Amino acid sequence: MPVSPKLLTLENMTEYPLSELFSGKLYRFCQAKGSGRFRGKFRKERLTPAGGGYYDRQWKRQGRTTPAERTMKMEFDRRWLDPDKAGAELAARAAEIAADPELLAECFGGELEFGTAGLRGILDAGTARMNRLTVGKATQGLARVLLEDHDCPGVAIAYDSRHFSREFAEEAAGILAANGVHVWIYPELMPTPALSYAVRELGCQSGIMITASHNPPEYNGYKVYDHTGGQIVSEFARRVSEAIASVDPFDGVRRSILSPRFQAYKGTNEIGG
């Protein structure tokens, strides 16, 4: 039998994800139980104030943190609002996001996950979005792993025509160079096979391709390749992911203090330049 809807109170509203708040009412799509024509189909159900949704109960039995709990325990890092730390554009955008609870939960309610395909996400401010700080955090983590395995590692970088691809590529180049990693970067946009060729031809230990492949234009991505020119394997991805998790995006990333553009990055070369 369906649960009779009950009104929410201010005391129990914080149990649910902000993204599910619509005009003071909470709904979820869940699988209908019982018999009849709705059995096994998905229906929209209004939640009870006790947080008694079927999937929330299942997750709690398994000892997992529900999406509601993750969202409401989120702590907003106010350094995102500091132009000196986040940059003027990101800080201004973060201030806009902070004023919108639903958008705040979407952009800062988690972090981009790094896997064998690297990072991929919507371009915007926030820990769960692709931006200069998340790219910097990922690059610092990659640099740590490479320096653990090699005395003088080399990395080739390429980028496509997506929004901010060149900026992210240059950001990665500067961070790697600041960490003592030798970097080669293409002076113009290139397809992914060109990056694989550069990794093998130059004898690099890794490669970075700034692209989101077939995803919509509001996305961008950060793909990492190994010394063979192919995408990294799961074990290496796990090590990089753990290294990224330990990096503070503001104070834990080494960045070049020199002026921008390729010639400013010490130890950076242009491929074909």
> What pLDDT does residue 116 have?
83
How confident is residue 144, by pLDDT bands cut at 50, 70 and 90? very high
Q: Which of 147, 9, 128 is nearest to 74 (CA)?
A: 128
Alpha-helical runs (H) found in the chain? 10-13, 54-61, 67-72, 83-86, 88-98, 101-108, 132-149, 165-178, 192-202, 234-245
* pLDDT band, very low/low/confident/very high, at 77 (cuts 50, 70, 90): confident
Mean pLDDT is lowest, of 35-39, 127-131, 178-182, 186-190, for: 35-39
How far apart, in Å, are the Cα atoms of 239 and each of 143, 172, 174, 205, 224? 11, 18, 22, 15, 13
Q: Which residues are catalytic?
A: 213
CA within 13 Å, CB half, 183: 29
Tell me the pTM: 0.70
Lowest mean pLDDT among 37-41, 114-118, 211-215: 37-41
In the prediction, which pLDDT does 73 show?
A: 47
Tens digit of pLDDT for each residue in 223-261?
999 999 999 998 999 999 999 999 999 999 998 754 344
Residue 123 in this model has a pLDDT that exceeds 50:
yes
Q: What's the pLDDT band for 137 if we cut at 50, 70, 90?
A: very high
- CA separation for the pair 70, 86 (Å, rounded): 24
Rg (CA), the chain: 22
Residue 154 and residue 184 in contact, taking contact as beta carbons nearer than 8 Å? yes
